Structure 1
């Protein structure tokens, strides 16, 4: 009997809180924010780095960090936190509590929302926020309530590991971080691992230039490729504005946060707190990465949740306003013609 090289494929490893990508065979985990998951192609692939470019004056990046860690705690992922300021216990004490469904919350918000307004017919049948890439309740990941904190003393006791910097001087913190992270990443884990690097490259990390940051990211990216580990990294990009494109080359996904008062595009939209821009989206596991039809999004932080929506201009709410403007324009043109 002729032998073949065929071997039966063994059982596929199941990771809690992960799903297969629709575009390739990579495993995705949720960032904790459904809108961000949709923008980057359904979730964050394992073995990749998500860069969140912090706003200069606000702390919305901290909210995304809390969602990211909360999702890891709920799914019993190994959580690795690197922060030179706050202790991991302080970060865990601020995690939002998990809720079973957001249906009840949506009903409450709908009751408190403004009554229906008369709008242009072309906006009448469109989704709020428009398009398919919006913060909708698709059942991937969990939902959280920002107004309450998570109880991590019971079943949700986190599998936490922290990078200790107490014995390190400022100028050696980045070097020490990459060395200790590589050791932790290479340590086998029964589940996926989530790494949070908070406020990296700020002055208290030492005297880092853009070249140092790029070298750090290159080593970090090589260390997690092919491993069940994903990284959320926040950097104050306004400090390295001239070298921002070079830094983005060494991550897989990059999101830029800008507050309303700083970003002119959303300065006139009082309903939003800021603008979220997709600066880079490139999965290492396929030649084609799904791209949304726009890179500009708006976000708002409500009392109970952080919402990401397509940025759209509000319609003209009254016919009289536009009609009055047209009449005034016609009168002014008529005066110019009289001589």
Structure 2
């Protein structure tokens, strides 16, 4: 009995010119822009947030799907969410995307973290050459180990392209050498704490939506845009009129319409200080409904450092808890296997200059009982169970 390939269609061979033209057309259609890859759940295009552990949390898509927004709420006066915004903007500039910054001045781009130095110890192993002698019985399993061909068949980017870069908070990103561009948005108004006197001033949110729509329509169809909205409704960045529910909800409605209209070109990352606007208020709940994903950061109280800062146990200690309130869902099956497990697990996060923001399951450290010191100089007692021998 001989092994013969089945399901082989016998037909006349096509001309070489037609075959090459069809292959070139198929390759051009499947080639993606830098920083994009299809979701393993439903194949829609995704982009990285600049934080690898956050990408793995988003409903199993492995990144932030294009045409969606992510709201990051933070309790307390820390700025962990601001660090996530910097990673998000830096990743877009390195990939050649257009980054639109709201509220911050143009000098904010000089505060972005730089690329981390490559690890000399962890050199990538060179791929082994395929053996010349192949088993005839395993002809159908030849392509299983070829990741490059599998990636090309799925329409992914080239294997050499990096989807999520590693950044170092101790460095600064050279914006002039990055292919991406930072676009400052129209001013959000003079920041003030007096809400009564400036309550009649017009909100700049309508001008921002108009400006963003113009940028999307005038740019190339293949250009990817990222919108950075830091500390939404904070009185230090936004005028008093922006805090009105009629203004901010209309702004989020307009942003949601732009995300759905340009579902293959635009993403948005929004942060909200919940110590100023708690989740118990109706305004914040409506804002959560208008965003595709909602994540809350709860910093833990700082403890005095007993060990040295170089201690690995001290560095890896969680600095806060992370709660997932909503994740993008695109179909009736739930949007990915990671969505259900992320809601049930207790997650924590830690931030370091070299590793960045790392999200992992939260677990209490094991309890170690203190050993009672033994009395060396105490004489041996001859009393046992109250009886003296």
Alignment TM-score > 0.5, same fold: yes
Q: How many residue pairs get matched?
A: 272
Structure 2 residue 258 is the aligned partner of structure 1 residue 223: yes
Which residue among 70, 82, 85 is the counterpart of 1:62? 82
Q: Look up the match of 1:258.
A: 298
Which residue among 144, 158, 168 is the counterpart of 1:145? 168
Q: Look up the match of 2:115.
A: 98
Q: Look up the match of 1:265.
A: none
How far 1:166 moved relative to its partner?
A: 7.6
Equivalent-residue separation in structure 2 for 1:205 and 1:104 (angstroms)? 50
SS of alignment partner, residue 301 of structure 2: coil
Q: Look up the match of 1:307.
A: 358
Which residue among 308, 320, 328 is the counterpart of 1:274? 320
How far 1:17 moved relative to its partner?
A: 0.8
Structure 2 residue 329 is the aligned partner of structure 1 residue 283: yes
Which has the larger displacement, 157-166 or 242-251?
157-166
SS of alignment partner, residue 294 of structure 1: helix
1:80-136 deviation per Cα after TM superposition (whole angstroms, max 9, x unaligned): 1111xx3122x211111113646759xxxxxxxxxxxxxxxxxxxxxxxxxxxxxxx
How far 1:234 moved relative to its partner?
A: 1.2
C-alpha contact 1:45 1:283 (8 A) present in aligned 2: no
Task: Flag the 1:102–1:272 CA change in 2: closer, same or farther, 3 A.
Answer: farther
C-alpha contact 1:171 1:205 (8 A) present in aligned 2: no
Q: Which stretches in structure 2 are left out of the alignment for 5+ residues?
A: 1-24, 123-161, 191-197, 303-313, 373-389
Structure 2 residue 222 is the aligned partner of structure 1 residue 199: no
Task: Flag the 1:166–1:39 CA change in 2: closer, same or farther, 3 A.
Answer: closer
State TM-score, norm by structure 2. 0.63
How far 1:212 moved relative to its partner?
A: 3.5
Task: Flag the 1:74–1:292 CA change in 2: closer, same or farther, 3 A.
Answer: farther
Task: Flag the 1:287–1:248 CA change in 2: closer, same or farther, 3 A.
Answer: farther
SS of alignment partner, residue 252 of structure 2: helix
Task: Flag the 1:13–1:186 CA change in 2: closer, same or farther, 3 A.
Answer: farther
1:297-339 deviation per Cα after TM superposition (whole angstroms, max 9, x unaligned): 2111113222221111222345969xxxxxxxxxxxxxxxxxx
Structure 2 residue 310 is the aligned partner of structure 1 residue 248: no
C-alpha contact 2:297 2:320 (8 A) present in aligned 1: yes
Q: Look up the match of 1:266.
A: none
For the pair shown, which has the larger CA radius of gyration, 1 or 2? 2
Q: Which stretches in structure 1 are left out of the alignment for 5+ residues?
A: 1-7, 106-138, 263-268, 322-339
RMSD: 3.0
1:225-276 deviation per Cα after TM superposition (whole angstroms, max 9, x unaligned): 12411001112234142223322111111111111029xxxxxx99221112
Structure 2 residue 200 is the aligned partner of structure 1 residue 163: no
How far 1:206 moved relative to its partner?
A: 2.3
